[in-house]
Amino acid sequence: MSSGSTELAWFKSSYSGSQGDDCVEVAIAEQAVHVRDSKDATLPAFTVANEGWSRFVRFASER
C-alpha cells in the first residue's frame, strides 16, 4: 500500500476489543479507507472504497 506523499492518520476503531487483543486501526483518505491490524502495523493494510466502507459500517452497526 502506498499512501503517496501524504502520511495517513491511523486511529483505533471503537469496535476493537478493550483488552487490546482484537485491535483494528483505520485511516480515512479522500477516496478510500485503509484498515490494518494495530498489533502488527508492519503487516499489509487493505484499502476499501468509501462506499464499500460505508456499507460495511451500516451492516456492522445493525448487529
pLDDT in tens, 1-52: 444 446 899 988 676 666 666 688 899 999 999 999 888 878 899 999 999 9
Side by side, the strands of the sheet bearing 46-49 are: 11-12, 24-28, 32-37, 46-49
pLDDT in tens, 48-63: 999 999 999 899 888 7
Whether the Cβ atoms of residue 63 and residue 45 lie closer than 8 Å to each other: no
pTM of the model: 0.71
Alpha-carbon distances of 47 from 28, 44, 62, rounded to whole Å: 10, 10, 23
**Cell 494495530 appears where?**
38
